[in-house]
Amino acid sequence: MRIRPRRLRYGETLRKMVRETRMDVSSLIYPIFVKEGTGIMEEIPTMPGQYRYSVDTMGKKLEELLRVGVSAVMFFGIPGYKDEIGSGAYAEDGIIQKALAQAKKEYPELYRITDVCMCEYTSHGHCGVLCGQDVDNDETLKLLAKTALSHVQAGADMVAPSDMMDGRVAAIRGLLDEKGYGTIPIMSYAVKYASAFYGPFRDAAGSAPAFGDRKGYQMDYHNSREGIKEAILDVQEGADIIMVKPAMAYLDMVAKIKDTVNVPVAAYSVSGEYAMIKAGAKLGYIDEEKVICETAASAFRAGCGIYLTYFAEEVARFMQEGKIG
């Protein structure tokens, strides 16, 4: 036989030599939940192994991450109070602002990214301010920009808007530039679907909408060309990195976005993906370690260069051990 594909599969050395997808720990971002209060380290029931930390306890996890080489973290805040206008999101002494200041002081080597959204801070749980039953897009833009600015002033190295309002990247870029933060990059959750895979996150952050759903701003999962439209728009508005979210059920979009825009592409393996792997492993239905490796590799194979995952520490360790990478 002249062409024999199996020839390149004999032995680990050769298999690694011809490997098409190579991953590196520097591509990983860990999402962390920081909650108002002290001495808190609460396990999230729907995300076993993941915790809500207070500012004084989060260092434990940050140190573990840094030890295995994960140096980028995405901060999510769980505030002490919520109101109609999500004022905790842009408060000078808000939870994220305090976490950033502390992280910058204690772990200057850590790269600090923040999720910019209102849903954890609004009493109604929507990703912006309301006008009747609808999120008021253009009013929300002002608050998102204000939130992003306050994150940067508190020590964020990068901001990541996840709200899906139209024009938010331009609004954030405009205000950051005006205030002298022209070099702070924006990673836009541009291709973000209305997904049931966010369920455990909403439990973790207490951010489920009090009425209705997010379909008026997040994308319909039947659509693909619309995702390309969102990505192109955000690049035109000044996004430096484009994210696809969720990851696992949307790898076609990762591949398409990679071919469409010429900025780095990130994929976010969300809470529901984490929860499914944990649950399946607990029941003994799947091998947790192998599934984590395969899932991570599939996102990179699809074309992302940046991978956000609650398994960041595990993936880093598996890379060190030569199980993937």
Known catalytic residues? 192, 245
Q: How far is the CB of 209 from ligand PBG (least distance, A)?
A: 8
Strand partners, 115: 160
Shortest spacing between CB 254 and ligand PBG, in angstroms: 16
Q: Judged by CB under 6 A, does residue 36 bind ligand PBG?
A: no
Closer of 125 and 325 to ligand PBG (Cβ): 125
Interface map 180-209 toward ligand PBG (x if CB under 6 A): ------------------x--xx-------
Q: Which of 110, 113, 115, 191 binds ligand PBG (CB under 6 A)?
A: 115
DSSP letter for 133, please.
T
Q: What is the widest separation between alpha-carbon atoms in the chain?
A: 71
CB closest to ligand PBG, residue no: 201
Judged by CB under 6 A, the residue of 117, 158, 165, 324 near ligand PBG is 117
- 34, 40 Cβ separation under 8 angstroms: no
Q: How far is the CB of 214 from ligand PBG (least distance, A)?
A: 6
d(C-alpha 62, C-alpha 71), whole Å: 8
Q: Contact 113/161 with Cβ under 8 angstroms?
A: no
Cα separation of the two ends of the chain: 31
Q: Under rule CB under 6 A, which residues in 261-290 are in contact with ligand PBG?
A: 270-271
DSSP element (H, E) containing 49: strand 47-54
Q: DSSP letter at 59?
A: H
Instruction: Identify each DSSP E strand in 172-319 by its residue range.
Output: 187-192, 241-245, 265-269, 306-309
Within 77-209, residue ranges assigned H as helices are: 95-106, 137-154, 168-178, 199-205
Are 256 and 279 in contact by the 8 Å Cβ rule? The answer is: no
Least CB distance from residue 47 to ligand PBG, whole Å?
8
The vertex-281 CA angle with 28 and 57, nearest 5°, equals: 50
Site string for ligand PBG, 120-139 (x = CB under 6 A): -------x------------
Q: Which is nearer to ligand PBG, 188 or 325 (CB)?
A: 188
| Part of the chain binding ligand PBG (CB under 6 A), chosen from 78-86, 114-122, 146-154, 317-325 | 114-122
Instruction: Give me the 139-178 binding string for ligand PBG, x by CB under 6 A, dash otherwise.
Output: -----------------------x----------------
Binding footprint of ligand PBG on the chain (CB under 6 A): 115, 117, 119, 127, 162, 198, 201-202, 214, 270-271
